[in-house]
Amino acid sequence: MSEKRSAEEVSSEVKKDERSMEDLSNEAKRFKQTCCGVADEFVCPLTLELPVEPVCAEDGRTYERAEIEQMIRLQGEDEELRSPVTNEPMGPRLFPAVQVRNAIEQLVRSGVIAGAKADRWKVRIEEEAVITSTKKRAAGGDTEAMCDLGYWYTTSRKGLEKDFSLGYRWYKEAADNNDVRGMAEAASCLVDGLGTKKNVTEGMTLMGIAAQGGSALGAHYLGTAFLTGDYGLSKNLKMSKYWLHRLVNGSCNVGTKWVGEEDLKEAKDNLQKIEDGDFDEE
């Protein structure tokens, strides 16, 4: 009889443990749902993403700094400024939301917040670290870092807002430090008026120096300009052939990866046409 009771007791204990485990599991699910609900309050209304640099605006909402700053610039810092959420008037002041940033990080790192939003937040945090490190290297005189920043700003990479002015400034700083890639990229900005006042003469002069230094982009620009007579250069098939040949045969190999495959193919085709006499010298 005692053995039977013992078996019943064991069975009862097992069931109690199972109910306890189920209760704990349900409690954990409710806790996670609550946390996710809290996390939804952190989502920037403008990006619909978890902010990397959250700020609190005067409407009491949390935003991604870059996005709300852009909105304020577009609306103007006056009485016409309105909340993008409530459409009610609000002031232009923004306050760093450090506690929100810390809470988001803890929730994401612990896995409480998961899914696509969390994954994208992690990527942006990693990009932010790369940008910070690159800016530090650039400030220390690393011209490769300067050129990388120039590229990221002009192409909106690494989560940066496209800004040709900042891109040109970084390229120019690299050029001023005798970096060939920086010279070619700064020259490209000058001849096209991207991020700086258009100055074809200065741009092509700098492009020539870059090409002489082995810039693939410089060789492509000169080869094409001498072929078409653009950018203030007279049409000159001999000079065009010289620079296109240097590009195609790899003599100008600095920054080769920044010359697209289509540009390289076009250079090869034009070089062949020059050799075949398909172009007339004017």
Residue tagged 């006056």 (tokens): 78
Query: What are residue 196's phi and psi, to 5 degrees?
Result: -160, 165
Model confidence at 62: pLDDT above 90: yes
Which of helix, strand or coil describes residue 179?
Answer: coil
Q: Which residues touch 125 (CB under 8 Å, ≥6 apart)?
A: 52, 105
Model confidence at 101: pLDDT above 80: yes
Model confidence at 139: pLDDT above 50: yes
Average pLDDT along the chain: 87
> What is the gyration radius of the CA atoms in the chain, in angstroms?
30
pTM of the model: 0.74
What is the C-alpha separation between 5 and 13, in angstroms, rounded? 12
What is the C-alpha separation between 198 and 226, in angstroms, rounded? 20
pLDDT, position 1: 46
pLDDT, position 29: 58
Q: Does residue 183 contact residue 205 with C-beta atoms inside 8 Å?
A: no
Can you tell me the mean pLDDT for 82-111?
A: 91
Q: Which residues touch 272 (CB under 8 Å, ≥6 apart)?
A: none
pLDDT tens-digit map of 14-56: 555 555 565 555 555 555 555 555 667 889 999 999 999 999 9
Residue tagged 């996390």 (tokens): 39
Considering Cα of 71, then 75, then 81, then 82, what sign does the dihedral take? negative
Q: Which residues touch 171 (CB under 8 Å, ≥6 apart)?
A: 146, 147, 150, 182, 185, 186, 189
Model confidence at 270: pLDDT above 90: yes
Question: Alpha carbon of 185 to those of 4, 167, 174, 265, 274: distances in Å?
Answer: 87, 9, 10, 21, 27
Residue tagged 């069975």 (tokens): 11
Question: What DSSP character marks residue 161?
Answer: P
pLDDT tens-digit map of 151-163: 999 999 998 889 9
Q: Which residues touch 81 (CB under 8 Å, ≥6 apart)?
A: 72, 75, 89, 90, 91, 92
- Side-chain half-sphere exposure of 188, counting CA atoms within 13 A: 24
What is the C-alpha separation between 122 and 278, in angstroms, rounded? 54
Can you tell me the mean pLDDT for 85-94?
A: 92
What is the C-alpha separation between 203 and 272, in angstroms, rounded? 28
pLDDT, position 110: 86
